[in-house]
Structure formats: structure tokens, C-alpha cells
Amino acid sequence: MDKLNHVKYALDQIIGKGNTEIVDSAFSDNYVAHSGDKNYSGHKFIKQFAKQIRTAIPDIKILSVDQLSHTDNTLTWQRSFTGTHKANLKGIPASDKRVKWHEMVVSRFENEKITEEWLLSDLAAQLMLKHK
């Protein structure tokens, strides 16, 4: 499977369908995610994040996944989501309003698994704007 199809499949299964059983086969045991000044690691983090986002936005839909660039071991891509904010997410209370957000990701692969990612998301800003 090429890198773009790999991330599309993992995203659809984990976030779109809530199937975290595939985390072990899609992500390295040494997985690390970088977001802002924070680092998150391991399969447990991925599974917890999927549960949090699917609880807060239970009707989450993946709108698009687009490749921006790639090298032998990296993929730079963009993804967009929509859904209704129904529960607290990282301290942001539910608004019961629809939200649409975008994320840019750089995924680094080792042995055909995602081993490291850098993420930039406007989800928090979009959720906070809905409280006005």
C-alpha cells in the first residue's frame, strides 16, 4: 500500500469508524506525534485520542485527504473534518453546533508503518469560535 492510501485507511478506520484494532498494524511501536510544543507517544495515545474525538464529535466525517508532497519515507498531507460538538473536548465545553476544521500532517514512515508525525490543527480555534 502506498503512503497516501496507508494514511487514508488508518484515518478512516480509527477516526471515521472508531476501529482502533488496526493501530498496531498501521503505526510503529515507537510512534511519536508532535503538536505545537507537546509530544505524544505510543499506541495508547492514538486509541485515547480517537475515543476523545469520537465522543466529543460523534458524527465526525472526514471531508478530504489530500497529498501535498512526499519523499521516500515521508508524506505531507492535509485533511478536513466536520461534525457536531456534543461533549467537552480538552476543556472546551460542547456547543451543539456544527464545526469544520483542517489539519496539516507530516507523516514519517519506517518499515511501512507510521512512526512519527507533526500536526497542525485549527480544531480548538474553530470550537472556541462556536461559543460566541
Is residue 11 pLDDT above 70, yes or no?
yes
pLDDT in tens, 61-114: 999 999 999 999 999 999 999 999 999 998 999 999 999 999 999 999 999 999
Residue 130 has a pLDDT of 78
Task: For the chain, report the end-to-end CA distance as a whole number of angstroms.
Answer: 44
pLDDT in tens, 27-49: 999 999 999 999 999 999 999 99
Residue 128 has a pLDDT of 87
pLDDT band for 1, please (50, 70, 90 cuts). confident
Compute the chain's Rg from CA coordinates.
Answer: 14
Q: Give the alpha-carbon dihedral of 126, 80, 25, 48, to 10 degrees.
A: 10
> 61-70 and 38-41: which strand pairing?
unpaired
Is residue 132 pLDDT above 70, yes or no?
no
Cα(3)–Cα(22) distance, integer angstroms: 16
Dihedral sign computed on CA atoms, order 96, 102, 106, 112:
positive
Q: CB under 8 Å to 102, separation ≥6 — which residues? A: 78, 79, 80, 81, 121, 122
Asked if residue 64 lies in contact with residue 29, where contact means CB atoms within 8 angstroms, the answer is no
Q: Which domains does the chain have, with CATH numbers?
A: 3-129 (3.10.450.50)
